[in-house]
A and B are shown apart, each in its own frame.
Chain A
Amino acid sequence: GESVGLHLPTLSVQEGDNSIINCAYSNSASDYFIWYKQESGKGPQFIIDIRSNMDKRQGQRVTVLLNKTVKHLSLQIAATQPGDSAVYFCAELYGQNFVFGPGTRLSVLP
């Protein structure tokens, strides 16, 4: 697959545990954020989004938290499964286009 994450921070979690992936964004004026999942050899895939007028948004097994005071975004994955192993990165909408973080590799241990 594509060697996207050679230098990425890695989070290792046991199958069934909860995962928390963090992202520090750059611009206080950013008002829309997306979390993407990227599996090896594939393109990024949308997981969940949140607008700046919200602090929390929940999806299926995933929750995104937004702390605008410290410009921090987190993605929580409940009951992590082997299929969750991937690189996760956040994107912030700044002006017209998105700025993407470098990502975190999530490794699920059996």
Chain B
Amino acid sequence: DAGITQSPRHKVTETGTPVTLRCHQTENHRYMYWYRQDPGHGLRLIHYSYGVKDTDKGEVSDGYSVSRSKTEDFLLTLESATSSQTSVYFCAHSSRGQDEQFFGPGTRLTVL
């Protein structure tokens, strides 16, 4: 157990609907991350947070937004889901930002 949970674990939704994925960590770590994982690609960073209310874009941020109102929670929102956002989403946390990251179990999102 890496001290991190994600919800939901699986979700099927329709194109154009909003979707929010939740990440919760119990380690009081400052840094949190959202990645997506697709066949043939390594993990790709969507957004990350370096503190409460402090977030920044990653490599593939278009179509996604995030919020971090508490240290332990990091939300990823797809304002209007598209089929290209069908993926497995992983959340991670780390204590110092440039060291080991601890990953959640992932959320499989299917956009029809």
Query: Which residues of chain A have a CB within 8 Å of any CB of chain B?
Result: 2-8, 32, 34, 41-46, 49, 89, 91, 93, 96-103
Closest partner residue, chain A, to B88 (CB atom): A2
Residues of chain B from 36 to 77 with CB closer than 8 A to chain A in the complex:
37, 39-45, 48, 58
Query: Which residues of chain B have a CB within 8 Å of any CB of chain A?
Result: 2, 35, 37, 39-45, 48, 58, 88, 90, 92, 97-106, 108
Chain B residues with CB under 8 Å of A3's CB are 39
A interface majority secondary structure: loop
Tell me if A93 and B98 are in contact (CB < 8 A): yes
Closest partner residue, chain A, to B4 (CB atom): A43
Chain A residues with CB under 8 Å of B98's CB are 32, 93, 96
For the complex formed, measure the closest distance between the CB of A87 and the CB atoms of chain B, giving whole angstroms: 10
A15 to B87, CA, bound (A): 33
- Find A46's partner among B45, B97, B102, B106 (CB 8 Å cutoff): B102
Tell me if B106 and A42 are in contact (CB < 8 A): yes
Tell me if A100 and B97 are in contact (CB < 8 A): no
- Find B39's partner among A7, A32, A49 (CB 8 Å cutoff): A7
Interface centre among A96, A98, A99, A103 (most CB of B within 10 A): A98
